[in-house]
Chains A and B, each alone.
Chain A
Amino acid sequence: MSVSKIPWVIKYRPRKLSEFVNQEEAIEKIKDWIKKWLSGKPERKAALFHGPPGSGKTSIVEALCREYGFQLIEMNASDYRREQDIERVAKLASAQRGLFANRRIILLDEIDGLALAGGADAGAIEAIVELIETTRNPVIMTANNPWDLTFKTLRDHSVMIEFKRLDKRDVLEVLRRICAAEKLSCDEKALSFIAERSEGDLRSAINDLEAVAEGGGEVTEEIARQLLRARDRILEPFEVVRKIFWSKYVWQAKLNATQTDLDPDTMMEWINENLPRQITDPEDLWRAYEALAKADVYRGRIVRTGSWDFLAYTIELMTAGVALAPKNDPKSKFRWVKYQFPEKIRLMSQTREYRALRDSMASIIGERIHASKAKVLKDVLPYIRVIFENNVEVAAKIAISLNLTDPMIKYLSQSKGDEIIARVKELRKAIRAEARKTESKKGETQKNTKKSEEIKKQQVKGGLDSFTKKTRF
């Protein structure tokens, strides 16, 4: 979980062209093309590297830059690649090189990830072609499948360089090297299993090896089989919760928690919701809740300290802590029960308006009586509510003087809300009539005039708020 830890795929990336396994042919072709660039004009200014995932396309570009001293300018699927973004890169590509400045390589990674059809990257192909035509630096594109019709013009402009799918032996060799470098005792059968299922994708093989080593602590075939079968797909939330509850080991519970897109907060809600459905012995349930509550305490510590290191403890407590809680009735966690969507999440979204109303009313009143929202909710609203449930006349007057809206009145009184609203309307009308009367009797006293003007202003605004404020002082 530590942030500073470098994933093995990056740590063991080949740094030199000679370190790549089984791509000699591709490398020869690349070197030829680059040499042409260095000695003058190549026939084709772009190269399209294509081949299965994890065969080394992107890594080779990086090694190439290192070996020949190019500066790498990269755009990949995580960047926007709209027309104007590519044009920006094209400017860099076509710029005249200073005498001592580095040459550049422009890398457009994963072009089959362009969101073309009406998507965010519309117009990208045309912009890339334009870029290739104007560039003074080598342009490299990578793709898993370049044979799509959309890429035809790009193919026509490029040297096509194919990367072979690695075979099992190549992958196995790399895995052994990593085991040695990490000083791990690795069971040969386990490595073979990992290499086999990677189907030539070295990146995924290295990721699998790392997961097994980290999750299991050692690399044996049994652990590899158990862990990697699980890694195959993203599970539905309720499946994840079930697997977490069913876990017998800490690593298992932790690993199960990784098989989901849910963030830790949401997952905690899922666990919280379904915990009492799964674990029913009171003491077991309390132990599980205490683990969950402690996980939550660590979550708070992440927020307070800003250190994500605490996430590891949050996850361990909320998964393994909960899974290992049942002692009196250890079998209860394997019982099949129907899980539910977290009620709290549902409730919060259902009641958003209601809560906003409640809170805005609390702050209106709080401002009036010089108290915080929390204090109003706790110490004042309960009494106002009793008044509103019991005395329509007083309630209506309070509603007018606090300038409460109809929904607020209904919030305060379920049984008499409509009656109060009707009375408020009646009273407001009478107040306006009285104000007009006063106005027609103009000029009696200065005070009177001032007051009716005030009322008139209020009528325009449709509220009486500032008027009552004035009368108070």
Chain B
Amino acid sequence: MLDLSEEEVSRILAELLWTEKYRPKTLDEVVNQKEVVTRLKQFIKERNTPHLLFAGPPGTGKTTVAHAFAHDLYGGDYRLYLLELNASDERGIDVIRTKVKEFARTKTPGNVPFKLILLDESDNMTADAQQALRRLMEMYVVATRFILVANYPSKIIEPIQSRCAVFRFVPLNREDVVGRLSWICGKEGVKCNQDALNTIYDLSEGDMRKAINILQTAAALGEVSVSNVYKVVGLAHPKEIKEMIKTALSGDFIKARNILRSLMVTYGLSGIDIIKQIHKEITSSDIDLPEEAKVELADYVGEIQFRLVEGADEEIQLDALLARLVVLGKKIVGVAPKRVGK
């Protein structure tokens, strides 16, 4: 039987996703976003803060900074004073009226000035919920402060924005990302070369979460090399999207639709994720489309995405897009596929 030392056990139990394992716990550990951090430290010194709105692209540290801020404010057991909700999963008015309201109105322990409510991905909150939230922000401001985290602050209604101090998070620069990745490699005892880390930065577009995910996955393949980095990115992105586009362009609608269905069921990808990837693919060089066709498609892809945002049925809308691709495919080839399907 396997015999493990105590240390080995702790190591197994700590084998987390690196994004979590190496998430900065305090504001001092945050490597970038200097301006944001400086201002937040001021709030901690004063032991007072307005409502906060953290805005910026994915993977720039918004959620991390929110937790670090709470940690520095309350200490190690900060979770007692922090309610964390993810607005993408709990975005309706009910959650605002029940969970948020309940937490907001509970009494604050004497030793802390106020409690914090962290609303992650809050740009996904419904309009109703935002209106309800706006009222709560006023009513319970004495004992509760909100931190709203959002990719697109424009999706937060004006009255809420005006009640918040807005912090803009910028994409991380190369030195910060590469430096952090190489620090993680050292901690993990993983061999990694500088070119590979630079490649990761290029592929992750300043998104630290993505960069660390690629790093951990490449390490699991043996070593962090340029070729492994590319391999990981290739494997992680479902090839089916490209295949689906090509199938539709070749005229086989029914087969393309089957691929679409398996993407939604197997990967659980949402219609919007799929359409964004389709958009990426058709503008890439891998898919051979005349330039005018790409422009024509951009309009229709955008239209379909808009409908999805408005709550239309994912499959039917994407089917319409596939049908459009079939038409385009026919024009490009010049020879009409006689029959679609079968």
Segment at the A interface, from B94-102, B167-175, B249-257, B282-290: B249-257
Q: Does B130 contact A (CB under 8 A)?
A: no
Which residues on the A side are within 8 Å of B270 (C-beta)? Answer: 374, 377-378
| B209–A377 CB distance below 8 A | no
From A343, A358, A383, give the contact of B217 (CB < 8 A): A383
| A385–B327 CB distance below 8 A | no
Known contacts A299-B313, A362-B268; A282 and B2 CB within 8 A of each other? no
Bound-complex Cα distance A285 to B320 (A): 9
Which residues on the A side are within 8 Å of B58 (C-beta)? Answer: 379
Q: Closest B residue to A268 by CB, please name it.
A: B316
Q: Closest A residue to B341 by CB, please name it.
A: A276
Instruction: Tell me the smallest distance from the CB of A385 to a CB of chain B, in Å.
Output: 7
Which residues on the A side are within 8 Å of B17 (C-beta)? Answer: 365, 368-369, 380, 384, 398, 402
| A289–B319 CB distance below 8 A | yes
Instruction: Tell me the smallest distance from the CB of A154 to a CB of chain B, in Å.
Output: 50
Q: Closest A residue to B8 by CB, please name it.
A: A434
From B5, B13, B124, B329, give the contact of A468 (CB < 8 A): B13
Q: Does B210 contact A (CB under 8 A)?
A: yes
| B319–A373 CB distance below 8 A | no
- In residues 1-41 of chain B, which contact A (Cβ within 8 Å)? 1-6, 8-10, 12-17, 19-20, 25
Which residues on the A side are within 8 Å of B329 (C-beta)? Answer: 282
- In residues 296-342 of chain B, which contact A (Cβ within 8 Å)? 304, 307, 310-313, 315-317, 319-320, 323-324, 326-327, 329-330, 336-337, 339-341
| B265–A430 CB distance below 8 A | no
| B320–A290 CB distance below 8 A | yes
Q: Does A6 contact B (CB under 8 A)?
A: no
| B261–A282 CB distance below 8 A | no
From B4, B237, B253, B312, give the contact of A431 (CB < 8 A): B4
| B86–A372 CB distance below 8 A | yes
Q: Does B273 contact A (CB under 8 A)?
A: yes
Instruction: Tell me the smallest distance from the CB of B295 to a CB of chain A, in Å.
Output: 18
| B14–A285 CB distance below 8 A | no
Bound-complex Cα distance A434 to B58 (A): 41
From A297, A362, A398, give the contact of B312 (CB < 8 A): A297
Q: How large is the interface on A (under 10, 10 to 19, 20 to 34, 35 or more residues)?
A: 35 or more
| A473–B76 CB distance below 8 A | yes
Q: Does B220 contact A (CB under 8 A)?
A: yes
Q: How large is the interface on B (under 10, 10 to 19, 20 to 34, 35 or more residues)?
A: 35 or more
Bound-complex Cα distance A450 to B120 (A): 34
Contact indicator per residue, chain B 259-274, by CB within 8 Å of chain A (1) or not (0): 0010001011110010
| A285–B253 CB distance below 8 A | yes
| A369–B19 CB distance below 8 A | yes
Which residues on the B side are within 8 Å of A385 (C-beta)? Answer: 236
| A434–B121 CB distance below 8 A | no
Q: Closest B residue to A399 by CB, please name it.
A: B15
Q: Does A427 contact B (CB under 8 A)?
A: yes
Q: Does B89 contact A (CB under 8 A)?
A: yes
Bound-complex Cα distance A431 to B254 (A): 51
Which residues on the A side are within 8 Å of B133 (C-beta)? Answer: none
Q: Does B144 contact A (CB under 8 A)?
A: no
Q: Closest A residue to B317 by CB, please name it.
A: A293
From A299, A372, A401, A438, give the contact of B13 (CB < 8 A): A401
| B340–A285 CB distance below 8 A | yes
| B268–A355 CB distance below 8 A | yes
Which residues on the B side are within 8 Å of A32 (C-beta)? Answer: none
| B89–A282 CB distance below 8 A | no
A-B contact count (CB 8 A): 220
Q: Does B145 contact A (CB under 8 A)?
A: no
Which residues on the A side are within 8 Å of B210 (C-beta)? Answer: 379
Q: Does B63 contact A (CB under 8 A)?
A: yes
Known contacts A369-B20, A380-B17, A397-B15; A292 and B265 CB within 8 A of each other? no
Q: Closest B residue to A265 by CB, please name it.
A: B313
Instruction: Tell me the smallest distance from the CB of B207 to a CB of chain A, in Å.
Output: 9
Bound-complex Cα distance A473 to B16 (A): 13
| A286–B323 CB distance below 8 A | yes
| A430–B261 CB distance below 8 A | no
Which residues on the A side are within 8 Å of B1 (C-beta)? Answer: 429-430, 433
Which residues on the B side are within 8 Å of A372 (C-beta)? Answer: 86-89, 120-121, 124
Bound-complex Cα distance A283 to B340 (A): 11
- In residues 394-426 of chain A, which contact B (Cβ within 8 Å)? 394-395, 397-398, 400-402, 426
Q: Does A42 contact B (CB under 8 A)?
A: no
Q: Does B67 contact A (CB under 8 A)?
A: yes
| A282–B327 CB distance below 8 A | yes
Which residues on the B side are within 8 Å of A374 (C-beta)? Answer: 88-89, 270, 273
| B327–A283 CB distance below 8 A | yes
Known contacts A282-B323, A429-B2; A297 and B16 CB within 8 A of each other? no
Q: Closest B residue to A276 by CB, please name it.
A: B253
Known contacts A378-B270, A397-B12, A401-B14; A296 and B121 CB within 8 A of each other? no
From A285, A370, A382, A472, give the contact of B237 (CB < 8 A): A382
Bound-complex Cα distance A304 to B261 (A): 26
Which residues on the A side are within 8 Å of B216 (C-beta)? Answer: 383, 387
- In residues 133-168 of chain B, which contact A (Cβ within 8 Å)? none
Q: Does A249 contact B (CB under 8 A)?
A: no
Q: Closest B residue to A468 by CB, please name it.
A: B13
Q: Does B232 contact A (CB under 8 A)?
A: yes
| A285–B326 CB distance below 8 A | yes
Instruction: Tell me the smallest distance from the CB of A292 to a CB of chain B, in Å.
Output: 6
| B3–A433 CB distance below 8 A | yes
Known contacts A383-B236, A386-B235; A391 and B88 CB within 8 A of each other? no
Bound-complex Cα distance A152 to B10 (A): 82
Bound-complex Cα distance A358 to B265 (A): 9
Q: Does B198 contact A (CB under 8 A)?
A: no
| A303–B16 CB distance below 8 A | no
Which residues on the B side are within 8 Å of A472 (C-beta)? Answer: 14, 16, 20
Known contacts A368-B16, A368-B17; A430 and B2 CB within 8 A of each other? yes
| B89–A373 CB distance below 8 A | yes
| A371–B86 CB distance below 8 A | yes
Q: Does B182 contact A (CB under 8 A)?
A: no
Known contacts A378-B270, A430-B1; A272 and B13 CB within 8 A of each other? no
Q: Does B214 contact A (CB under 8 A)?
A: yes
Q: Does B238 contact A (CB under 8 A)?
A: yes
Bound-complex Cα distance A369 to B19 (A): 7
- In residues 297-312 of chain A, which contact B (Cβ within 8 Å)? 297, 299-300, 303-304
Which residues on the B side are within 8 Å of A288 (C-beta)? Answer: 323
Bound-complex Cα distance A385 to B268 (A): 13
Instruction: Tell me the smallest distance from the CB of B321 to a CB of chain A, in Å.
Output: 9
Q: Does A2 contact B (CB under 8 A)?
A: no
- Inter-chain pairs besides A276-B253, A387-B217, 6 sampled, C-beta below 8 Å: A282-B340, A303-B311, A344-B261, A375-B88, A401-B15, A434-B9
A-B contact pairs, 23 of them (CB 8 A): A268-B313, A282-B326, A285-B327, A286-B326, A289-B320, A293-B304, A293-B317, A343-B258, A347-B265, A354-B265, A366-B86, A370-B67, A371-B86, A372-B86, A374-B270, A377-B267, A382-B235, A386-B235, A397-B12, A398-B16, A431-B12, A434-B6, A473-B77
10 shortest interchain CB distances as A-B pairs: A372-B88, A397-B15, A382-B236, A293-B320, A430-B2, A289-B323, A391-B220, A289-B320, A286-B323, A383-B213
